[in-house]
Every structure is written in structure tokens, then in C-alpha cells.
Amino acid sequence: MLLCLIVSLIDRLAFAATSLESKDNNYFLSIRMPNVTPQRVDELICTAAKLDPRESYIVRFTPHASKASAHHMMLYGCRSPASFSPSWICNQNQTPSGPSHDAVCLEDTKHIVFAWALDAPEKALPEGVGLRVSGDTGINYLVVQLHYAKAFPPGVTDNSGYTLEMTNSRPPQQVGYLVLGNWGVIPPQKYEFYLDSFCEFPLNDTVYPIAYRTHSHNLGVVTSGYRIRAGLWVEIGRNSPQLPQAFYKVSNPGMNIRPGDVLASRCVMNSVSRDKDTIIGPRNHDEMCNFYIMYTTYQQRNLEDIMCFQKSNSDTSRDVFPPDSGSLDGIPGADKVKKKFRTAASLG
């Protein structure tokens, strides 16, 4: 009886994803929330879909969500999801004693597949590039984790999610992620508080950044990322996390990152609207400082996410960064960001 129940749940999970063959041998996979009703502010809900076991590559990500109801929507890869229910609360991934009942993945590793926030558009990867899943990657399931902005009234449901364009044909290059960020505390009443991170590139290969994404919550004014080689700083990207948090093209197309390079990121935070410390944490009233680098590589081994997180600082490395590292100049939509923080200052 128990075995039959488990098989039934797995079958139901597999049907959460709908794939349609297309004439160019690519196919589409849709992973959507099964008409969920979030019960509280900042609730994180997950749903999962089982993948074709053959090695596959994602070549396009199309989000279906709105900033009116969602703070952000992550797409993770798991060997096995934390639950085989159609949806579940997934506020964390691990506890010191092992997987928790509200985890994303059953194991201790969840792979970044994509991230969306603030009505960002779809992302198509360049020709000849794909993000590898299935096969021997350890990514047998994809999990959508949606951070809801508010509780829904009774009877109101949500079916946000992603549609993915995929192929079983191996492209010449695959996609990997490198994320710089911070943990710690942001003090109140600061017009400019810097969160800086430095990381020596840990791979023995040359990789090619093709896109970047900035992520903060309400206090992030601008985030920038750089490659440092022989003392020379080259901008990877710079944008405001108050604008659509898409994966934007890098500032210097064709650039590479190779062994010996150092990567750096800076988030400029404006906390004049707060009268207490703000912690780095998952809730919307908390903060985050993340700079995502989407890169490509000709290497055909399985890739692991590279994470470089450091404790927050104040102004200790202020003079090390380029003068425009905290500037909104040249960023489309910067006037909206400046207006937001002028309003925050007047309220603070």
C-alpha cells in the first residue's frame, strides 16, 4: 500500500511538468504552481517536476509571475525534491541535523538554474550555449521556489512558474553560475553603506561571462561587479536591484575570467528609512546583496555553483573600488531609483 502511494505521488509530480515537441527538435517544459494560496506575508512555496532522465540542456527561460504578488522566483535543480507533494512550504534547505521538512532539496545541495524578480523578461541563451541538467548531473528534478509578497484572500490562487525551452542535443558550451554576496548587518540612517566582496577565481579553466544579475530587497541602490587582473579593474556589470532583476548582458562582451583573477562586487545600501539594524536574511524586510555572474565554458564536466560570500563591512574598502562603482549614471531607469530613495529620505 505504501509503495503504491509513493509511486502515485511520483507520477503526479512528473505530470506537474508538460513537455511539447517542436519542429526543430527542441521541446518545452512548463513548471507552474498548482493553484496555491499563500497564507502569510513572506511565505515561500515550492513545486517540482521530474526531468527526462536523458542529458538535456535549457536554452530559454520564460517566467510567468508578477511583482504584484511575488518578491522573487528561483528555479533550482535537485537530485530529489524535499517533498513529493504538489506544493510545499520551503523556507530553508538544511538544518544542522540534516534536511528539514521545509527544505527545497532532499540533499544538502541545490543547484541554481535561474532567478527572476521585479517583472524581469525571459532570457534566451546565445546560440551554442545551454544549461545542462539530467544525465549524470545530479539534477533529476527542477524546483520552483516562489517568495510571495503577501497573503492571498481565500479562494484566490496562483499558478506562477516557468516555461523552459530545452534540447537533448549537446551544445559546444554550457552555462555555470558564480555568485558574490554578503552576510551581516546594515546599520540604520546611512545614505551610503557598502557591502563588498572579494573572491579569487577558484577554477583552473578560462570562462566567459555573458550575463549578470543584481539582487537586493528594499535598501539596495546600485550593485556592481568587477574582474581584477594585474591591478586593472574591468566592469562585469552595474545596475540597480530596484529595477527588473533580469540577467543583463555584461558591460564588456567578450571578456574572460581565468586563473589568478580576482572578482569583486559592491552593493550600495541606503538605510535612511530604517531606525534599527537590518540583517542580511530571507524576509523582504531583511536585506540581501547578491551579484550573479552567468558564464559559459567549453569544459564538458558537471559544473558546481561557485559561491563567494563575505561578512558585511562599512567603508573599509571604499577607495579601492572604481569611482563609479556606486553610481547610477548611465543606468536606464535610474531616475525612478533616485526618486524612490529621495522619498525614503524624506520619510526617514
Quick one: which of 27, 265, 304 has its CA closest to 175?
A: 304
The domain in which residue 281 lies consists of 174-320
Whether residues 155 and 181 fall in one domain: no
- pLDDT (0 to 100) of residue 109: 83
- Rounded to whole angstroms, the Cα distance separating 191 from 342 reads 10
% the chain with pLDDT above 70:
86
pLDDT in tens, 241-260: 999 999 999 999 999 999 99
| 291 membership: H or E segment, kind and range | strand 290-297
Whether residues 126 and 88 fall in one domain: yes
- Rounded to whole angstroms, the Cα distance separating 199 from 139 reads 27
Whether residues 198 and 86 fall in one domain: no
Asked if residue 334 is part of any domain, the answer here is: no
Annotated binding site for Cu(2+): 71-72, 147, 215, 217, 288
Whether residues 159 and 285 fall in one domain: no
133 is written with which cell numbers? 541538467
Continuous H helices in 43-130: none
Contact 212, 248 (CB under 8 A): yes
Beta-sheet pairing, 141-148 with 44-50: antiparallel
Asked if residue 93 is part of any domain, the answer here is: yes
Whether residues 158 and 202 fall in one domain: no
Q: What is the mean pLDDT of the chain?
A: 89
Residue 161: strand pairing partners: 32, 64
- pLDDT (0 to 100) of residue 345: 53
C-alpha to C-alpha distances, 348 to 19, 71, 191, 241, nearest whole angstrom: 50, 23, 11, 21
Whether residues 207 and 254 fall in one domain: yes
Asked if residue 326 is part of any domain, the answer here is: no
Residues annotated as catalytic are 71-72, 145, 147, 215, 217, 288
Instruction: Read off the CATH number of the domain in which 188 is found.
Output: 2.60.120.230
- pTM for the full model? 0.90
Confidence of residue 191 (pLDDT cuts 50, 70, 90): very high
- pLDDT (0 to 100) of residue 282: 87
Quick one: which of 305, 116, 288, 93 has its CA closest to 199?
A: 305
pLDDT in tens, 138-148: 999 999 999 99
Asked if residue 344 is part of any domain, the answer here is: no
**Which region, left, alpha or beta, applies to residue 128 given φ > 0 means left and ψ of -120 to 50 means alpha?**
left
341 is written with which cell numbers? 530613495
Asked if residue 345 is part of any domain, the answer here is: no
| 230 membership: H or E segment, kind and range | none
Asked if residue 337 is part of any domain, the answer here is: no
- pLDDT (0 to 100) of residue 100: 52
Asked if residue 348 is part of any domain, the answer here is: no
Whether residues 224 and 186 fall in one domain: yes
Q: Which residues contact 133 (CB under 8 A, 6 or more apart)?
A: 51, 55, 56, 57, 58, 77, 113, 139, 142
Which amino acid does the sequence have at 294? M
What is the number of H-type helices and E-type strands within the chain? 2, 24
**Which region, left, alpha or beta, applies to residue 346 given φ > 0 means left and ψ of -120 to 50 means alpha?**
alpha
Whether residues 94 and 194 fall in one domain: no
Whether residues 65 and 191 fall in one domain: no
- Residue 18 phi, psi (nearest 5): -115, 125
146 is written with which cell numbers? 516562489
Whether residues 125 and 179 fall in one domain: no
Whether residues 163 and 188 fall in one domain: no
pLDDT in tens, 69-106: 999 999 999 999 999 999 999 986 434 444 455 799 99
Structural domain count, the chain? 2
- Rounded to whole angstroms, the Cα distance separating 206 from 176 reads 12
- pLDDT (0 to 100) of residue 2: 42
Whether residues 256 and 225 fall in one domain: yes
Query: Is pLDDT at 108 greater than 80 in this prediction?
Result: no
- pLDDT (0 to 100) of residue 69: 95
Instruction: Read off the CATH number of the domain in which 104 is found.
Output: 2.60.120.310
Asked if residue 343 is part of any domain, the answer here is: no
- pLDDT (0 to 100) of residue 160: 98
Annotated binding site: 71-72, 147, 215, 217, 288
The DSSP string of 141-201 is EEEEEEEESSPPPTT--B--EEEEEEESSPPSEEEEEEEEEEESEE-SS-S-EEEEEEEE-
- Rounded to whole angstroms, the Cα distance separating 331 from 335 reads 9
Confidence of residue 319 (pLDDT cuts 50, 70, 90): confident
- Rounded to whole angstroms, the Cα distance separating 238 from 248 reads 9
Q: Which residues contact 80 (CB under 8 A, 6 or more apart)?
A: 105, 106, 107, 140, 141
